A and B are shown apart, each in its own frame.
Chain A
Amino acid sequence: MSLKRKILELQKKREKVLQGGGEKAIEKQVAMGKMTARERIITLLDENSFHEYDLFVEHEARDFNMDKKTLHGDGVIIGTGTIFGAPICIYAQDFTVAGGSLGLMHARKITKIMDHAMKMRVPIIGINDSGGARIQEGVNSLAGYGEIFYRNTIASGVIPQISVILGPCAGGAVYSPALTDFVFVVDKISKMFITGPEVIKTVLGEEISMEDLGGARVHSEITGNAHFYAESEIECFDQIKKLITYIPWNNSKKAQPFDAKEPKIDQYKIDEIVPGNPKEPYDVRDVVRAITDDSDFFEIQELWASNMVIGFGRLNGQTIGFVCNQPLVLAGVLDVDSSCKAARFIRYCDAFNIPIVTLVDLPGYLPGVDQEHAGVIRHGAKVLYAYSEATVPKVTVILRKAYGGGYIAMNSRHLNADFVFAWPGAEIAVMGPEGAANIIFRKEIMEAKDPEKMRKQKVKEYKEKFANPYVAAAKGYVDSVIEPEETRKLLLHAIEVSQNKVDRRPIKKHGIPPF
């Protein structure tokens, strides 16, 4: 056979495999409103940048007549490519091939590309669209999952790991996304759960749809398992592309710098956003946008625990992680969910050399039996742990209220913040004036002729004396009381002078954070 004929043969073989599960299966996939696995990769990556490997991999299962079945690529596509020039390793499960079910060779392909990403120190993106374990392959498919989870864990904090849920992702399969850094979901397409509606119906007799049990909305709003919610696959891919521009390729690098840009100060007037009365709400994201380059803020977990706002912005072209209390929602309190949300993000930023800016305005912790019984002590401790542990530049701006334990937790000087600034309206105190006056002046209030009048007077007295930034500034807990308009200038400076920060910790295998 001449080389030319051999090339023709290769082309034919390729063509056959590239059909995936065949026309009918592709039609079904399209009818479900989904793109095919290869389309997804090509849409997500830079044009012509994708190169596929292991196209001719075949499964070795022999039981249950599997030896008579050919599964093209064993139901998963792996390869490398670029996003805005950044090198990427990627895999996408192909639902058209045996429902994207995970067998031994399918898993081998995934672990191969994961190992490659680790060696090359580049981000890995996994697109999940699978019915679950390939039952015919028995324990071999479980082995496959386990080997993926192990790699997810080892790669954690070394290379960025992104999971995209574009179809079902059920049972054990959900733990790979759960171990990765960012999970993307799409409305009506993503479904994640440990036990599906069928099992719940059999065991509990409760009927629930897949959407209500583990749809995109559920994971974005209630469980917090997802970080980004999109209405279409295209929007989801745009979110991934945008995220990639903010994060470094690995933990030994910094994110790619952008050109510095001034914020849109006509649109976001920093001294007009925060009301003087600490009980009035505002959107803290407007403060972030008044500070960041081009007023750009890329929010993470927007719909879950919205009383805490986290996300990326840039200062002087450099990626910054923002952690902010959100007075607009639940008065910006710390609670179980918001603590988990902030703590994990702080650890992400620390792992990937991203400086953290914290904007503080909170009344304290959310009171309630449900919170206490849900373990707000254990979960709240995560925030303290994450801030104390972080060695990246840490800058705090106290916008308004900073009371009690909340003040300590939100990257205070005492947790080793590098810079703490406070706006002149800041109230840094052991607790809010109302609560404090009720305790300190309890006797006077009780014994007064008009207790309510006395209470009000004492609250006012306390406010004047203690509800300001100067008591803390007098002790050096606040480095500088600044005008709101000076915020960006000072943050740029703080980040600039922190570029060579060295903060060494005692050598240990690892800490024991309150997981």
Chain B
Amino acid sequence: MTKKKVETEKANDLLEDKDVSKIRYSSLMLQVQGAKYKTLLTEKYKNRKKWEKPDVNQMFSDIPGTVVKIYVEEGQKVKEGELMMVLEAMKMKNKIYFPVDGTVKKIYVKEEERVPKGFLMIELK
């Protein structure tokens, strides 16, 4: 039993208490329910994305990949459900269809171009 006690003493001394300064904060106020609190904001909170209302006429890539074929031209009238392009991603040739009716205002990508996720590919008007 005595041996055990010595060991638990050792366990207690294993780690020094760490300093808060290891956390990267910046000081600011945070508003919750009409009251402002003095507090620290984390990097993650400050880097959060601001929300913007999505524009239905802008076609963004949902997945990173390569544009294989584009089926429309600028100025062309298109209907909801019409084939827009084939985007090869994750070893699949994905067919992308127009979600709304409209006229193609601008095409921002070329065939065989590689696009990241969330890239503006085609704009309608």
Complex contact B45–A330 (CB within 8 A): yes
Task: Tell me if A245 and B8 are in contact (CB < 8 A).
Answer: yes
Quick one: which of A279, A283, A296, A433 contacts B20, CB cutoff 8 A? A283
Q: Is the CB of A364 within 8 A of B116?
A: no
Is B100 positioned at the interface, with any CB of A under 8 Å from its CB?
no
B-chain residues with CB within 8 Å of residue A433 when the two chains form the complex: 35
How far is the CB of A306 from the nearest CB of chain B, in Å?
A: 6
| Interface secondary structure of B, over-half rule | mixed
Contact with A along B33-66 (1 / 0, CB 8 A): 1111111111111001101000000000000110
Which one of A239, A241, A297 has the greatest number of beta carbons of chain B within 10 Å? A241
Are A435 and B7 in contact, CB atoms less than 8 angstroms apart?
Answer: no
- Give the nearest-CB partner of A217 in chain B: B24
A205→B114 contact, CB < 8 A: yes
Which of A85, A330, A337, A435 touches B41 (beta carbons < 8 Å)? Answer: A330
Partner-contacting stretch, out of B9-17, B74-82, B103-111: B9-17
Structural contact, A302 and B15, CB atoms closer than 8 A:
no
Say which residue of B11, B32, B49, B64 sits within 8 Å of A370 (CB atoms): B49
Question: Across the interface, do A329 and B25 meet the contact criterion of CB distance under 8 Å?
Answer: yes
One of B8, B15, B35, B39 near A239 (C-beta < 8 A): B15
Q: Are B32 and A333 in contact (CB under 8 A)?
A: yes
Chain A residues 14 to 61 lying within 8 A of chain B, measured CB to CB, are: none
Chain A residues in 8 Å Cβ range of B116: 204-206
Q: Indicate if A438 sits at the interface (CB-CB under 8 A).
A: yes
Task: List chain A residues, Cβ under 8 A from B31.
Answer: 367
Residues of B within 8 A of A364 (CB): 32-33
The answer on a CB contact under 8 Å between A303 and B23 is yes
B5 vs chain A, min Cβ distance (A): 7
Chain B positions within 8 Å of A373 at CB level = 51
Docked pose: A366 CA to B42 CA in angstroms: 13
Q: Is A242 a contact partner of B14 (Cβ separation < 8 A)?
A: yes
Contacts of A241 in B (CB 8 A): 11, 14
Please give, as numbers and ranges, the residues of chain B lying within 8 Å of A84 by CB-CB distance. Answer: 7-8, 10-11
Q: What string of 1s and 0s marks CB contacts (under 8 Å) between A298-327 and chain B?
A: 110011001100000000000000000001
Once bound together, how far apart are the Cα atoms of A331 and B33, in whole Å? 12
CB distance from B6 to the nearest CB of A (A): 10
- How far apart are the CA atoms of A299 and B12 in the complex, in Å? 14
Contacts of A85 in B (CB 8 A): 4, 7
B40 in contact with A330 (CB, 8 Å): yes
Known: A238-B15, A306-B23, A432-B34. A281 touches B8 (CB 8 A): no
Contact A279 B15 (CB under 8 A): no
Q: A306-B42, A327-B37 are in contact. Are A204 and B64 (CB under 8 A)?
A: yes
With A331-B32, A363-B37: A221-B18 Cβ-Cβ less than 8 Å: no
Given the contacts A296-B12, A435-B34, A281 and B5 also touching, CB distance less than 8 Å? no
CB pair A330 B42 closer than 8 Å: yes
Q: Please tell me if A3 contacts chain B, counting CB pairs below 8 Å.
A: no
Max chain A Cβ within 10 angstroms of own Cβ: one of B35, B44, B49: B35
The residue in chain A whose Cβ has the minimal distance to the Cβ of B51 is: A369
CB-based nearest B residue for A304: B44
In the complex, A206→B114 CA distance in Å?
11
Contact across chains for B34 and A438 when beta carbons are under 8 A apart: yes
- Contact assessment for A329 and B11 in the assembled complex, using a CB-CB cutoff below 8 Å: no
Least Cβ distance of B118 to chain A in Å?
11
> Would A431 and B33 be within 8 Å (CB), given that A258-B8, A296-B12 are in contact?
yes
Contacts of A337 in B (CB 8 A): 44
Which residues of chain A from 142 to 164 have any CB-CB distance to chain B below 8 Å in the complex? none
Decide if A435 touches B39 in the complex (CB within 8 Å).
no
Q: Does A222 contact B (CB under 8 A)?
A: yes
**Which of the residues B35, B40, B48 comes within 8 Å of A328, measured between beta carbons?**
B40
Pick from A281, A283, A367: contact of B32, CB under 8 Å: A367
Please, which residues of chain B bring their CB within 8 A of the CB of A369? 51
Q: How distant is the Cα of A294 from the Cα of B13 in the complex, in angstroms? A: 11
Q: Which 4 A-B pairs have the closest CB atoms?
A: A435-B33, A331-B37, A434-B34, A369-B51
Q: Show 14 A/B contacts (Cβ-Cβ < 8 Å), sorted by A.
A: A84-B10, A85-B4, A221-B43, A242-B15, A279-B36, A280-B38, A281-B38, A299-B18, A329-B39, A329-B41, A330-B42, A332-B39, A363-B32, A366-B32
Kindly list 11 other residue pairs between chains A and B, CB separation below 8 angstroms, not including A296-B12, A331-B37, A363-B37.
A205-B114, A221-B24, A221-B43, A222-B44, A306-B23, A330-B42, A333-B30, A363-B33, A370-B48, A431-B33, A432-B32
